[in-house]
Amino acid sequence: MEDCLSSSKKSQKVVGFEGPYRLLYCSSKGDKAGVMRELEKGVEPDLADYDKRTALHLASCEGCTEIVVLLLQKGADVNSTDRWGRTPLSDARSFSHEAICKILEAKGGIDPVGLDSQLPCYELDHREVNMDEAALIGEGSYGEIYLVRWRGTEVAAKTIRSSIASNPIVKNIFMKELALWQKLRHPNIVQFLGVLKHPDRLIFLTEYLCNGSLHDILKRKGRLDLQTVVSFALDIARGMNYLHQHKPRPIIHRDLTPRNVLQDEAGRLKVTDFGLSKIAQENDVSGYKMTGRTDRYMAPEVYRRESYGTSIDIFSFALIVHEMFLGGPPNLAEDPEKIADKRAYEDSRPPLYSYLYPEPIRTLLKECWHQNPDCRPTFEEIIVKLEEIQDKLKNKRKMGTCSGAINDSSGWCSRLSR
Ligand SMILES: Nc1ncnc2c1ncn2[C@@H]1O[C@H](COP(=O)(O)OP(=O)(O)OP(=O)(O)O)[C@@H](O)[C@H]1O
């Protein structure tokens, strides 16, 4: 733990607006003097943001020819790939910047994704769904959600805002995420059904979960008892473990929140919208923004704009489990950006009142929201711990007693019978 704590402090470096990321900003704006200044300061030409997009990606999609030439002269990698496997040439082609395509090709640039090689998404004839009879059930960052009938079954239809659907790069990324989603099959992952082939709209179908989101459930019911929390936490952890163990690359959710966890008729929770929300929130992935969207479930390393991995989802998971005991988010009135800032730079975490959080859960939450991502457990490890707690709870119920292996100093067993 000592090591974890000391490296945690090390990882708290501040990346301010005037930090190395200015290179990306200047590149996307075509500011040659700014780019030169940053490179002269010693900033690496291949510096990437948290989506692994480099200055060369940004200059290529913005059509900044001079910057592309300059970055290549300074040794930028012509074939750096971003989170979606796109190279600078992929971006230049998407926006038809012919001159830049030629420059990149001459330097050995390749386009491993290309619009043509996009994985096909399962397409359905739009006449199969009558959107005129659709009932609105919710609204998210990328559009509205409707309850519709498809082939005799109630399903959810998600409409994509035209600001997203009309941007070729964003649409392409969106379609790739959907193509990935259509391959996933797990009891704790919302099932993707297909995209409606519509001349001027982008709509996709998923299974319909009649009980709504965990956010809705907490609003309705308030605090959940320990047994329910453990069972819900296991559902989320199993769905997330499936995503993190995806081959050849793990799928990072990036926006795990109570709104992105839905409940089916049988009471089981399922995870939805991996990757999609963030695409929509970033609004314009072709440009680099100096301010990031923050929220209360964001891991410190994301807020600090550092590189990150699967453990950002573990951090969000801990906050969701914390909320289930509390019946909603703590410090609801506080500005989410302030909360994220304090978590990133002051190591602040929500309170773990002993009368609400039994000992095995307290320890688990502390591990999961550890400041150092390397010290957080994996979902596989979390599942083992939660199953142990669940087994003990079952045994206690059978024996009709609360004394035994799990510390009950806070009287948490008594809440089981509520
Ligand atoms: N498949 C579904 N079945 C039933 N209800 C759904 C389904 N998908 C979404 N909803 C409802 O619609 C609401 C909005 O969903 P959506 O996923 O678009 O947005 P969000 O999760 O609230 O926000 P964001 O897009 O930022 O993640 C959800 O909170 C939920 O209540």
Q: C-alpha angle 68/91/166, rounded to 5°?
A: 135
Whole-number pLDDT of residue 270:
98
Do 274 and 236 fall into the same domain? yes
Whole-number pLDDT of residue 178:
85
Q: What is the pLDDT of residues 155-182, one digit of tens each?
A: 999 998 887 777 777 777 778 788 888 8
Please report, as a single letter, which amino acid is at residue 72: L
Whole-number pLDDT of residue 352:
96
107-125 mean pLDDT: 69
- Check if 190 has its Cβ closer than 6 Å to any atom of ligand 1: yes
Q: Known binder of ligand: residue 158? A: yes
* Residue 41 clears pLDDT 60, i.e. is over it: yes
* Residue 289 clears pLDDT 90, i.e. is over it: no
**What number of CA atoms fall less than 13 Å from residue 169's CA on the CB side?**
26
Q: Which of 120, 143, 274, 124 is nearest to 193 (CA)?
A: 124
Q: C-alpha angle 275/346/261, rounded to 5°?
A: 30
State both tokens at 291.
């301010």
Q: Which of 347, 340, 382 is nearest to 363 (CA)?
A: 382
Q: Which of 121-125, 186-190, 372-376, 404-408 has the lowest mean pLDDT?
A: 404-408
Exposure class string for 203-222: b at 16+ Cβ within 10 A, else e? bbbbbbbebebbbebbeeee
Do 230 and 339 fall into the same domain? yes
- Domain containing 95 equals 20-107
How far apart (Å, rounded) are the C-alpha atoms in residues 46 and 300? Answer: 23
Do 233 and 177 fall into the same domain? no
Q: What is the pLDDT of residues 349-359, one digit of tens each?
A: 999 999 999 99
Q: What separation in Å is there between the alpha carbon of 215 and the centre of ligand 1?
A: 10
Please report, as a single letter, which amino acid is at residue 406: I
- Check if 316 has its Cβ closer than 6 Å to any atom of ligand 1: no
Classify residue 87: in a domain, yes or no. yes
Q: Which entry of 82, 91, 235, 255 is annotated as an active-site residue?
A: 255
- Check if 212 has its Cβ closer than 6 Å to any atom of ligand 1: yes
| 383: Cβ contacts below 8 Å, ≥ 6 apart | 234, 237, 238, 241
Do 180 and 244 fall into the same domain? no
Dihedral of CA 342/346/347/350: which sign?
A: negative
- Check if 323 has its Cβ closer than 6 Å to any atom of ligand 1: no
- Check if 295 has its Cβ closer than 6 Å to any atom of ligand 1: no
Cis amide linkage into residue 330, ω under 30° from 0: no
| First vs last C-alpha separation in the chain | 37
Helix spans in 296-358 (H): 300-303, 311-326, 336-345
Angle between helices 214-221 and 311-326 (to 10 degrees): 20
For residue 13, what pLDDT band results from cuts at 50, 70 and 90? Answer: very low
- Check if 206 has its Cβ closer than 6 Å to any atom of ligand 1: yes
* Residue 332 clears pLDDT 90, i.e. is over it: no
Q: What separation in Å is there between the alpha carbon of 260 and the centre of ligand 1?
A: 6
For atom 20 of ligand 1, the residue with the nearest CA is: 140
Do 256 and 369 fall into the same domain? yes
Q: Is the ipTM above a cut-off of 0.85?
A: yes
Classify residue 160: in a domain, yes or no. yes
Helix spans in 107-184 (H): 162-165, 168-181
Do 266 and 342 fall into the same domain? yes
Q: Which of 127-136, 166-175, 332-341, 355-364 has the lowest mean pLDDT?
A: 166-175
For residue 326, what pLDDT band results from cuts at 50, 70 and 90? Answer: very high
How far apart (Å, rounded) are the C-alpha atoms in residues 370 and 364? Answer: 10
For residue 147, what pLDDT band results from cuts at 50, 70 and 90? Answer: very high
State both tokens at 234.
């296991």
For residue 108, what pLDDT band results from cuts at 50, 70 and 90? Answer: confident
Do 327 and 380 fall into the same domain? yes
What's the domain count of the chain? 3
* Residue 293 clears pLDDT 60, i.e. is over it: no
* Residue 3 clears pLDDT 70, i.e. is over it: no
For the chain, the average pLDDT equals: 84
Whole-number pLDDT of residue 141:
75
Do 266 and 346 fall into the same domain? yes
Whole-number pLDDT of residue 266:
94
Q: Is residue 214 a contact partner of residue 267, using CB atoms and an 8 Å limit?
A: no
Q: What separation in Å is there between the alpha carbon of 236 and the centre of ligand 1?
A: 16
Whole-number pLDDT of residue 248:
78
- Give the domain CATH number at 187: 3.30.200.20
The single-letter DSSP state of residue 416 is G
Whether 264 is a known active-site residue: answer: no
119-125 mean pLDDT: 73
DSSP code string of 77-110: -TT---TTS--HHHHHHHTT-HHHHHHHHHTT--
* Residue 93 clears pLDDT 90, i.e. is over it: no
Q: Is residue 97 a contact partner of residue 156, using CB atoms and an 8 Å limit?
A: no
Q: Is residue 125 a contact partner of residue 101, using CB atoms and an 8 Å limit?
A: no
Residue to substitute in 149, 177, 208, 260 for testing ligand 1 pocket (most ligand atoms within 8 angstroms of CB): 260
Q: What percentage of the chain reaches a pLDDT higher than 90?
A: 56
Q: What is the pLDDT of residues 195-240, one digit of tens each?
A: 997 767 789 999 999 999 999 999 999 999 999 999 999 999 999 9
Classify residue 251: in a domain, yes or no. yes
Q: How far does Cα 41 stand from its chain's mean position?
A: 33
Q: Which of 143, 88, 131 is nearest to 110 (CA)?
A: 88
Q: Is residue 279 a contact partner of residue 233, using CB atoms and an 8 Å limit?
A: no
Residue to substitute in 164, 255, 273, 294 for testing ligand 1 pocket (most ligand atoms within 8 angstroms of CB): 273
Q: Which of 318, 186, 312 is nearest to 239 (CA)?
A: 186
Classify residue 116: in a domain, yes or no. no
Q: Which of 100-104, 385-389, 410-414 has the lowest mean pLDDT?
A: 410-414
* Residue 337 clears pLDDT 80, i.e. is over it: yes
Whole-number pLDDT of residue 114:
64
